[in-house]
Structure 1
């Protein structure tokens, strides 16, 4: 079991990801093996974690996983220290805020504060965040701060001297134009595309109090409900894996590999669909590769196999690829697999962003009728579906596909805008459904 701490921000955009990467680099250089993690349902920040730490980042979300699932997923990590990057501001989010994750894991919080235009006010901000925990009944410890975009000399001294004795100063991230990650819709560019330069990270790491950070970490409690290894199924899952289909939780692939045989293929490269019992199309950026997807034979073959009864499960970007067509925000239309009776259009502004709860109305690949399933949605596209389209889910919380429903079904296949975590049981149900 690994000791850890949480990096919480005072707000979104404060530089948590850069601070996380610099801290991971500093700890690695000091001889620690770091397990990165991310509070909240994110695929992009974890890709940057993995690029620096050399191991997959764990997803920690109370809404998606529940408290025991959260702890199980944490304890599946490796290494000497776990650094958990928070989501938004420390207290923001009703489904699973950074503070809620820190409380469930009983981990201390290191607060990332933007110090570019303040000194004593930085200390006042940190003190306010610590006192607010008591005011709202959150059982969390704000242990100290990392000063983002802080200069050395008088600037740093002013911040350190202003902090109360019981708030640690863990160092600073100096201003550096090389420590900026380009962004686009859905967030930052992926870690595989834009990796921060190691020399810039090491320069920032030199301003951090590495051993103090290591010393503040502690071990979270074990889950109350331990789950053993599930029975293997005689099934092969084909997982789309390339730049268009890159949004998947490490725990999902782990679950597939624990219980079944996993093969991968690239629709962007035009790979043939592998011999398999079911296909998983994760989310990603099919809109950035629509012409290649539309001109390759892969999606056409996938559509034919689905019409013959091969189960296909698509999440968000996967749903888009399963539709008849995809129109980019620039108005260019490409044919997709044609499995689902829908046409998808990209927009300049996001169409949905929330934790989601779905009521299952009909048995489907990921859940039985009568159950509820939790997930997360974040997408810039909308789907225009046929009047006679069939849905497997009613939305209790969230927007889904048409505001009231999600889980578009055709043949033995399912497409949904919602990303789910394996702790929901959805992928176990999928494996059992495709098992011959």
Structure 2
């Protein structure tokens, strides 16, 4: 039995000519332009990222949907899209439009049947901006990708002769939707996992509003269209369980769909290990990823991780992803060489590095039944981390890596007591969190 099909907002995909072209800033400015034109905006991200969506939410005021074919599958992608609200969905792309084998921006646009608005860096070009856009439009035909590149937003473009030159050079079937003027205030600072989170480095409201004034929100709304409909996810029974989710600056990487699934099927409570909150009375704990390395001293002294370690040793199931895995380990050593004790649930010591240790879409096969998969089952996810884990020789692994690096290159998922820690992040559409909830009452 399935629920009736749901219908989300009309939308378009904001694709870049490359990484670093300013897609996130363009997304935020476009959201402002659409709001100024009277439209409610639903942000989304094509890709597994957690950081860009935090900036979307800070501006649009609603959680950004995660749209990734590898993580969600095509039906899951459509279901997740249609859960959005508002009038117009702005989907920020990942990397360049055609980059990525697991789930490129172009693949997402094709699956959703949404038009693409191309973000082109116009800092040092006019006619060449049009030539670049035309090349991206025609390349879709060359590779047999059924997408429509509808027009451009010119990033770092001045007004007057510069803007007019870009507009006049565009062919008739490529619309000019406006520009983002050069402005040092429209720069989001970086750190090792990418940009700072939205609540940490919100862009100045005045700068975004000024950028929005040079974007045609009405024309963008007019080009947006609705994706194909899809049956909602199968109706699933409620689970008589309480899940405690860590929620603070150290544990901030979680997909909205995951929290929605917990709320729909179980009772959800939150707590802050950084603040020293006691572990709530619960049947299981979820530690999302985030930045435990930036809060290692506070986590060590707050007492929450120590309590969590004791509860896990008594049989409380704890599921940790990436940063959660790090917090579940015996120790965490920062890139500066400072060692901090963690929860001590898993037989591993984690060390931070200056360069990332893994970045890819991942596929895992369960070696035995565990919190997120049955024996032999495969789940898909994403990994991106700057740490490595030194694991005891007799440690038990839950998964073999079919694709990706995992913990030791061949395996992921450390098992200890009734708990599981992985480097992979998974989406609710993988079924992993349904399995987690159901395991709490088995």
TM-score higher than 0.5: yes
Distance across 2 between alignment mates of 1:322 and 1:181? 31
Name the structure 2 match of 1:32. Answer: 39
Which of these residues, 280, 293, 296, is aligned with residue 290 of structure 1? Answer: 296
1:329 paired to 2:339 = no
Distance across 1 between alignment mates of 2:35 and 2:436? 38
Name the structure 1 match of 2:12. Answer: 5
Deviation at 1:229, TM superposition (A): 2.9
- 1:17-166 equivalences in 2 (<5 Å): 17-166=24-173
Three-state SS of the structure 1 residue aligned to 2:270 is strand
Deviation at 1:435, TM superposition (A): 2.1
1:222 paired to 2:229 = yes
* Structure 1 moving runs of 4+ over 4 Å: none
Distance across 2 between alignment mates of 1:314 and 1:42? 18
Task: Provide, for residues 230-268 of structure 1, a one-character-per-residue CA deviation record: whole Å limited to 9, x for no partner.
Answer: 110000000000000000000000000000000000000
- 1:261-340 equivalences in 2 (<5 Å): 261-340=267-346
Name the structure 1 match of 2:361. Answer: 355
Three-state SS of the structure 1 residue aligned to 2:206 is helix
Which of these residues, 392, 413, 424, is aligned with residue 430 of structure 2? Answer: 424
Gaps of at least 5 residues in structure 2 are 1-7
Task: Provide, for residues 193-238 of structure 1, a one-character-per-residue CA deviation record: whole Å limited to 9, x for no partner.
Answer: 0111111101000101111100000000012x54233110000000
Three-state SS of the structure 2 residue aligned to 1:382 is strand
- 1:138-287 equivalences in 2 (<5 Å): 138-223=145-230, 225-287=231-293
Task: Provide, for residues 3-33 of structure 1, a one-character-per-residue CA deviation record: whole Å limited to 9, x for no partner.
Answer: 0000000000000000000000111122110
Task: Provide, for residues 405-428 of structure 1, a one-character-per-residue CA deviation record: whole Å limited to 9, x for no partner.
Answer: 001000000000000000000000
Gaps of at least 5 residues in structure 1 are none
Give the TM-score taking structure 1 as reference length: 0.99
Distance across 1 between alignment mates of 2:352 and 2:173? 50
Distance across 2 between alignment mates of 1:377 and 1:370? 21
Three-state SS of the structure 2 residue aligned to 1:51 is helix
Name the structure 2 match of 1:408. Answer: 414
Distance across 1 between alignment mates of 2:187 and 2:143? 34
Task: Provide, for residues 385-434 of structure 1, a one-character-per-residue CA deviation record: whole Å limited to 9, x for no partner.
Answer: 00000001000000000000001000000000000000000000000001
Three-state SS of the structure 2 residue aligned to 1:110 is strand
Deviation at 1:360, TM superposition (A): 0.7
RMSD of Structure 2 on Structure 1 (CA): 0.6
Deviation at 1:180, TM superposition (A): 0.5
Name the structure 1 match of 2:372. Answer: 366
Deviation at 1:317, TM superposition (A): 0.1
